[in-house]
Amino acid sequence: MIKAEKELKGVTLKTIQAEKRSKAEIAMTRFWKRKDVMVVAAGSIPCIRELYILAKEMGTLHQFRYVSLTNSDYILGSAEDMIREALRKAALVPGVQVVVFYLSCLDILVRLDFHHLEEKLYKETGVLVKCFYRGPLGKEEKERLDVDNFMRTFPKETGTIDQLSSQLPPPVSDGAGISDWMRRHGWANVLVTPAGCRSCMSDCDMTEDQKHVYYPTVVTRDFVFGMEDTTKKQTDALLKQTKLSGVSLIGTAVPSFIGMDGESVADSLCEKDYQAVYWEADGFHDALFGVSQAELQQVRCKANWLLKEKKKVVQILGYSPLLAGPMTDLEEGLSFLHQLGYEVIFDGHQAARNVPVLNWVVSTAGIAAARWMQERLQTPSIISRPLGDHAWSTWKKQVQELLRDGKGERKLQIHRMDIPKKYEEHILFIGEPVQIMGVAHALWHEGYAQIRLSSMAWSKESEKLIRSAPGGDTFHILRNMSDLVKERDWADVVYCDPWLFPFFDGKKTVSMPWGLISGRTGLSR
């Protein structure tokens, strides 16, 4: 299927490629073979998402809990209290004999008092709580035990955990989202990470067609003195040995936490006549926010050198496979624009030379950039993912109006809900706001008046983006399981990503894949 990871000759940057997970037994599979072990993980999104995916594959989601934290929680010291409370709750789940805290790089970097954590929780709950060192930083710890010796400290297996999973799937992270979006020809993406964050991308969060994605080889001193020099040297070596003309450096949790100056690395590469840009991501935000910030950064930078003379170019904003689905979904619109004589470019794929005459926003991630261009460059925009003859007809009319007038914004949304009811079913949509608005709008026109729109928000920043989408003020925001339960109780039919189907047992479900949740597995359906 996919080539195995390999190193370029004389270069210590390593490739990241989509690949099937190895069947080799790892620590997690050993833990979950026991029916009385609960695994708890904290850290950035890739840390917890990788374990969630593995637990889902093994059918052991009921034996996994995660702690949703922010970068600030680690910096300000509140992370330890939140982790302690999560471990305590996990220990109190019926059937739990052992709680394994699966340490992340940040847990190790902030030097949590692991021994105190274990001792206090054991005294409080009577359940064995053990911290397991993992990842590139964990391997350097003197107290680290291999899985065999670690499990020898466990009591005899006696319990069985049968409590259902109570947490929503962690989303694709900001860094993985930016990598999915940034696919400019002749460029490489370098995920600045101590190896750990790459696994989630390889296993689920990058498409099979993505090429030239790398991560640096780092050593312990890089976490003390900074990752700048290592990243710069290894990226420079890559560019010297290949025909690549540019590079995107993408942040992750560790470089963000230690205060890496990614801009200086990009500037040093530019001084050597390479094209380079640093995308700031911290691993604690989802792909929706990550791509939105990257697109906004991109258009702001381009505004300084774009030729002000407008040419017959339409720019697509907010497109990435994970966020917006396959490009074929846009074919009718692309064909129409080509028939009118316009060139179409995808931001993140091609570099614009002139100010575009129109921005077509195909996901929520592109809204902030489009509205910035409306204000500063007077570029009109249409925010719409039409579905059905009526919607496409309206879209084409609006596009022609915007091209003629050269200003304004058009959007697709349900403006009123008082049309005659033909059907009484309560229909719930969960997904990317611009996309589900298109599907819901089509059903609304067919007489389905009982419609509820919802979307998952991992952070306050993502929620703000959702609210900015057409009809966003009406969206129900899912932050946790209790929010989802309320929607489930109301719905008769649910349009959502298949990964959410288990939460709607007994309801009629319709597949509407959303890569933010299911990664590339959703795109293959």
The reply to whether 398 and 449 lie within a common domain is no
Phi, psi of 129 (to 5 degrees): -115, 120
**Chain segment 57-99, per-residue pLDDT in tens:** 999 999 999 999 999 999 998 999 999 999 999 999 999 999 9
pTM of the predicted model over 0.85: yes
- The last residue of one of the domains, among 217, 252, 285, is 285
Q: Is residue 27 part of a domain?
A: no
Q: What is the mean pLDDT of the chain?
A: 90
- The last residue of one of the domains, among 343, 376, 411, is 411
Question: Which residues does residue 199 pair with via DSSP β-bridges, in sequence order?
Answer: none
Least confident of 60-69, 108-117, 299-308, 394-403: 299-308
The CATH code of the domain that includes 431 is 3.40.50
The CATH code of the domain that includes 267 is 3.40.50.1980
Q: Is residue 159 part of a domain?
A: no
Q: Is residue 25 part of a domain?
A: no
**Chain segment 223-240, per-residue pLDDT in tens:** 878 899 999 999 999 999
Q: Is residue 309 part of a domain?
A: yes
Residue 441 has pLDDT above 80, yes or no: yes
- The last residue of one of the domains, among 357, 382, 411, is 411
**Chain segment 442-469, per-residue pLDDT in tens:** 999 888 888 999 999 999 999 999 999 9
The reply to whether 127 and 54 lie within a common domain is yes
Domain of residue 342 covers: 305-411
- Angle subtended by helix axes 45-58 and 174-181, to nearest 10: 90
Q: Is residue 400 part of a domain?
A: yes
Question: Which residues does residue 478 pair with via DSSP β-bridges, in sequence order?
Answer: 456
Closest Cα partner for 41 from 277, 215, 163, 200?
200
CA distance 193 to 389: 46
The reply to whether 132 and 220 lie within a common domain is no
Q: Is residue 5 part of a domain?
A: no
Residue with tokens 């991501």: 281
The reply to whether 311 and 388 lie within a common domain is yes
Q: Is residue 144 part of a domain?
A: yes
Per the structure, how many domains does the chain have?
4
Confidence label for 26 from pLDDT (cuts 50, 70 and 90): confident
- Angle subtended by helix axes 228-241 and 262-270, to nearest 10: 30
**Chain segment 332-345, per-residue pLDDT in tens:** 999 999 999 999 99
Tell me the two tokens of residue 50. Answer: 């990788």
CA distance 288 to 290: 6
